[in-house]
């Protein structure tokens, strides 16, 4: 089970509860990927555990996403997106990140939204 908890600190380093930017490989595992926002939810040893964010509205293609095993939840907008677009968090894919690969800090998610996302991720992933 992941060591999950809300521990954001304004110290310039990525902490659980913060949205940061990191390289996220595509599902295909072919070496391609994208620099994108990630909600850090915890740690596994020195590694960060996170869930990727997207500004795309997956409600419109929910059936297709579900068929591929992808589960999303709305998280609203925040300072991680300079255009203020609402975001969704992908619940079914836990990312393991080296803190050195995190490109920059975005913003801390408030405790209420963080707790809801983690609760939903636990349900979806079974931990």
Rounded-to-integer distance, Cα 63 and Cα 126, Å: 21
pLDDT tens readout for residues 17-37 = 999 999 999 987 788 999 999
Q: What is the model's pLDDT at position 92?
A: 96
- Which of these, 80, 28, 27, 16, lies nearest to 54 by C-alpha position? 80
Q: What is the pTM of this model?
A: 0.92
Three-state SS letters, the chain: CCEECCCCCCCCCCCCCEEEEEEEECCCCCCCEEEEEEEEEEEECCEEEEEEEECCCCCCCHHHHHHCCCCEEEEECCCCCCCCCCEEEECCCCEEECHHHCCEEEEECCHHHHHHHHHHHHHHHCC
Report the pLDDT value the prediction gives residue 66, as an integer from 0 to 100: 82
Contact 93, 52 (CB under 8 A): yes
At residue 1, the pLDDT reads: 67
Average pLDDT for 76-97 = 94
**Arithmetic mean of pLDDT, 76-89:** 93
What are the pLDDT digits (tens) for 32-73? 999 999 999 999 999 999 999 999 888 777 788 888 889 999
Asked if residues 37 and 20 have their Cβ atoms less than 8 Å apart, the reply is yes
More confident residue, 82 or 29: 82
* Share above pLDDT 90 across residues of the chain, in percent, rounded to a whole number: 69
């Amino acid at each position: 089970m992941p060591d999950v908890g809300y521990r954001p600190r304004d110290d310039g380093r990525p902490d659980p509860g913060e949205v940061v930017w990191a390289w996220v490989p595509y599902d295909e595992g072919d070496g391609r990927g994208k620099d994108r926002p990630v909600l850090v939810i915890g740690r596994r040893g020195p590694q960060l555990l996170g869930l990727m964010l997207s500004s795309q509205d997956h409600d419109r293609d929910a059936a297709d996403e579900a068929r591929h095993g992808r589960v999303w939840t709305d998280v609203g907008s925040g300072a991680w997106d300079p255009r203020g677009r609402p975001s969704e968090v992908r619940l079914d894919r836990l990312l393991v990140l080296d803190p050195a690969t995190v490109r920059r800090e975005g913003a801390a998610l408030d405790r209420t939204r963080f707790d809801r996302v983690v609760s939903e991720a636990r349900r979806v992933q079974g931990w």
